[in-house]
């Protein structure tokens, strides 16, 4: 009898275990919103905006309907216009570049660091032109890009700096929180994130009151007051039920991130001497929140298939860099333009690292991957 027949599959996500940990509070929060009749914005949203911003060292939080909307409206609030060039990474989820293109701006890619998969600041400096108005780093897998250096580059050239923190809730690097140094920082609360809603949701954090006011108007049809519209915006208001769910989960986030770090530490130790399993570098392990624990392996499809046969489910984030997607063809890139991103796309494998893994599960993942790689 195989391992899969006798033991449950170890999955990359366990929402049932998360629901069990938060208990009845989640259902009670939803019922509270239903009873209130305040379904869009309102006190649940305001409370979440304030606390999430505080935890990230930011003055303001503006809730959005999704993480993608947070990116789009964040760019607009920073003054990015159609025709502007925005420097970003080719190795991320498509939404990062897609948001740039959605407002008529042009994504201009810079390669990533081979060991961390984070945006390479040297490549950013080399890509600067007079058309560039903003830099958009992605804090991939739960660790921050070098925000101190990116802030210095942006300040020197008077560029906007928008952080994509969709995978980096409460992440820290060099004492700086995700969202703290950028002109604004965006987050997604898609259910798979470290802090997930019970549907879609997002937020933009910032320090500047004018940016916050711009965001509040942009998410509400450009309206500073009822039936008054000073610009064209959209409808991207965070729903109260999502905020209520997030308010229930938020006090658990630090502990959940600690458990992710604990699991990641065991993986680091186990794979340190392996020639076939190469973990990505953690530039600040104490501040990394490990939305994904990512290794590089050769012959990934075979390794992934054999892991699954033995009851360990893994993920690939991401199997094709953005610049090689069909939708990116008009941006003028081709294979070979960003060798680090392309190599990573061929080799990365993401292991289960969620906070509800048992110690025995972690050991099974380690033993399985070392055996099949």
Backbone angles phi, psi at 132, to 5 degrees: -75, 130
Q: Give the residues across from 138 on adjacent strands.
A: 164
Say which residues have a Cβ less than 8 Å from residue 84's Cβ, sequence separation at least 6: 105, 106, 131, 132, 133, 134
Which residue's structure tokens are 């969709």? Answer: 166
Query: pLDDT-based confidence at 5, cuts 50/70/90?
Result: low
Using one digit for the tens of pLDDT, what is the confidence trace for 263-298? 999 999 999 999 999 999 999 989 999 999 999 999
The number of beta carbons lying within 10 Å of the beta carbon of residue 323 is 23
Tell me where in the chain the CATH 3.40.640.10 domain(s) lie. 17-248
Query: pLDDT-based confidence at 7, cuts 50/70/90?
Result: confident
Q: What CATH number was assigned to the domain covering residues 17-248?
A: 3.40.640.10
Angle subtended by helix axes 240-271 and 43-55, to nearest 10: 30
Predicted local confidence at residue 97, as pLDDT: 98
The number of beta carbons lying within 10 Å of the beta carbon of residue 170 is 21
* Contact present, 207 and 162 (Cβ < 8 Å): no
Tell me where in the chain the CATH 3.90.1150.10 domain(s) lie. 3-8+252-372
Cα separation, 370 vs 356, whole angstroms: 22
Q: Specify the CATH class of 3-8+252-372 in words.
A: alpha beta
Q: How many Cα atoms sit within 13 Å of 104 on the Cβ side?
A: 6
Region 88-97: mean pLDDT is 98
């Amino acid at each position: 009898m195989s391992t899969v027949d006798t033991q449950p599959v170890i999955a990359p996500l366990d929402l049932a275990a998360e629901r069990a940990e938060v208990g009845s509070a989640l259902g009670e929060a939803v019922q509270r919103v239903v009873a209130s009749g305040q379904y869009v914005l309102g006190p649940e949203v305001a409370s979440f905006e304030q606390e999430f911003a505080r935890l990230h060292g930011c003055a303001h939080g503006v809730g959005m309907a999704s993480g993608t909307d947070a990116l789009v409206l964040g760019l607009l609030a920073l003054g990015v216009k159609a025709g502007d060039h925005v420097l970003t990474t080719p190795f991320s989820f498509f939404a990062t570049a897609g948001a740039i293109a959605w407002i008529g701006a042009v994504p201009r890619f810079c390669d990533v660091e081979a060991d961390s998969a984070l945006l390479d600041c040297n490549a950013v400096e080399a890509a600067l032109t007079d058309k560039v108005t903003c830099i958009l780093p992605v804090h991939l897998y739960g660790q921050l890009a070098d925000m101190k250096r990116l802030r210095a580059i942006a300040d020197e050239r008077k560029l906007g700096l928008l952080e994509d923190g969709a995978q980096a809730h409460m992440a820290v690097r060099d004492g700086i929180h995700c969202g703290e140094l950028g002109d604004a920082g965006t987050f997604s609360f898609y259910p798979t994130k470290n802090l997930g809603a019970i549907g879609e949701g997002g937020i933009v954090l910032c320090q500047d009151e004018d940016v916050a006011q711009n965001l509040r108007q942009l998410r509400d049809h450009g309206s500073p007051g009822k039936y008054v519209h000073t610009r064209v915006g959209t409808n991207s208001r965070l729903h109260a039920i999502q905020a209520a769910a997030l308010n229930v989960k938020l006090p658990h986030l630090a502990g959940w991130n600690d458990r992710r770090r604990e699991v990641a530490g065991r993986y680091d130790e186990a794979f340190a001497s392996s020639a076939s399993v190469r973990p990505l570098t953690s530039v600040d392990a104490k501040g990394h929140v490990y939305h994904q624990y990512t290794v590089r392996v050769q012959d990934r499809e075979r390794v992934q298939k054999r892991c699954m046969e033995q009851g360990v489910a893994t993920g690939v984030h991401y199997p094709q860099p953005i610049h090689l997607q069909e939708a990116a063809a008009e941006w003028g890139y081709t294979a070979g333009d960003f060798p680090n991103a392309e190599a990573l796309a061929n080799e990365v494998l993401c292991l289960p690292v969620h906070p509800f893994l048992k110690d025995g599960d972690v050991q099974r993942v380690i033993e399985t991957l070392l055996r099949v790689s």
